[in-house]
Amino acid sequence: MKLIGAHLSPYVRKVATILTIKGISYEPEVVIPGMMPDDFIEISPLLKIPVLVDGEVTLPDSSVICEYLNEKYPEPATMPSDVAERARARFLEEYGDTRLLEYMSVPFIENVVKPGLRNEQPDEDRVRRVVHEMLPGALDYLESQVPAQGFLFGDFSTADIALVSPTINAGLGGYTVDAGRWPRYAGFVERVKAFPPVVAVLQAEQEAMGSLLG
Ligand SMILES: N[C@@H](CCC(=O)N[C@@H](CS)C(=O)NCC(=O)O)C(=O)O
């Protein structure tokens, strides 16, 4: 099995977490956004990472990949068994992948990617605007969705990592969730980060990206 992507991508991290939970060993192959090989479009028509290669099967899109992995390798399950819960898990996964990531990527891009990879100055006003004006609404919503204890649907699911992976990137860019204002979500983030498969994935990222992460 091959996981094509870049180590700090929240979407790649989501897939790496699911592979790790299922005990599937995989070989990471680095493809960095903006520096994709010319023929990458043949395996990723939207020109995005990650892409999974499982024998004859090549799949783009982290949500499609996670669903494929859960159907092909069902144990341990990484989606709830109840139909309605599974639908809710899919929406929460989508929320993490889109709205939450849109906001949480800003501290990461401005404070990690720009100075570390592009030799550019961070736009601190942009970070302040997103953190103070846009992110609070998203965090209010998540505060109403996540549990006070444990994970969203009992056993760890794809939705759990999808709702935390973007926040891990923001953390690398110096952002911390205010636990006074959003205690449930702040606690949930810490529980997901402490889940052993997530710890292992973050450790591998740290080893691969040590110089960028300082
Ligand atoms: N819906 C896709 C989104 C993937 C995505 O946006 N990946 C980013 C990297 S974190 C990317 O490849 N960006 C390249 C670009 O937009 O040019 C998924 O879940 O895999």
- Minimal-distance CA residue to ligand 1 atom 17: 33
Q: pLDDT tens for residues 113-137?
A: 999 989 999 999 999 999 999 999 9
What residues flank ligand 1, with Cβ below 6 Å?
9, 11, 33, 47-50, 61-63, 97
Q: pLDDT tens for residues 25-37?
A: 999 999 999 899 9
Q: Are 109 and 173 in contact (CB under 8 A)?
A: yes
State the pLDDT confidence band at 214, using cuts at 50, 70 and 90. Answer: low
State the pLDDT confidence band at 162, using cuts at 50, 70 and 90. Answer: very high
163 Cα distance to chain centroid: 7
| Rounded distance from Cα 10 to ligand 1 centre (Å) | 9
Average pLDDT over residues 181-195: 98
- Minimal-distance CA residue to ligand 1 atom 20: 61
Neighbour-count burial for 189-210, b at 16+ CB within 10 Å, e otherwise? bebbeebebbeebeeebeeebe
| Rounded distance from Cα 48 to ligand 1 centre (Å) | 4
- Minimal-distance CA residue to ligand 1 atom 19: 62
| Rounded distance from Cα 206 to ligand 1 centre (Å) | 21
Q: What is the CB neighbour count within 10 angstroms for residue 121?
A: 9
- Minimal-distance CA residue to ligand 1 atom 10: 9
Domains delineated in the chain:
2-72 (3.40.30.10), 83-195 (1.20.1050.10)
For residue 81, the SS3 value is coil
Is pLDDT of 171 > 80?
A: yes
User: Which atom of ligand 1 lies closest to the CA of 33?
Assistant: 14
Share of the chain above pLDDT 90, in %: 96
Is pLDDT of 212 > 80?
A: no
d(CA 63, CA 65): 5
Q: pLDDT tens for residues 37-87?
A: 999 999 999 999 999 999 999 999 999 999 999 999 999 999 999 999 999
More confident of the two residues 211 and 91: 91
Residue 51: which H helix or E strand, with range?
strand 51-54
| Rounded distance from Cα 181 to ligand 1 centre (Å) | 30
Query: What pLDDT score was predicted for residue 210?
Result: 75
Mean pLDDT of the chain: 97
Hey, which of 11, 65, 112 would you mutate to test ligand 1's pocket, going by the most ligand atoms within 8 Å of its Cβ?
11
Average pLDDT over residues 185-207: 97
- Minimal-distance CA residue to ligand 1 atom 11: 48
User: Which atom of ligand 1 lies closest to the CA of 44?
Assistant: 12
Share of the chain above pLDDT 70, in %: 99
Q: What is the CB neighbour count within 10 angstroms for residue 38?
A: 6
Average pLDDT over residues 185-204: 98
The pair of structure tokens assigned to 179 is 């636990």
| Rounded distance from Cα 62 to ligand 1 centre (Å) | 9
| Rounded distance from Cα 33 to ligand 1 centre (Å) | 8
Query: What pLDDT score was predicted for residue 188?
Result: 98
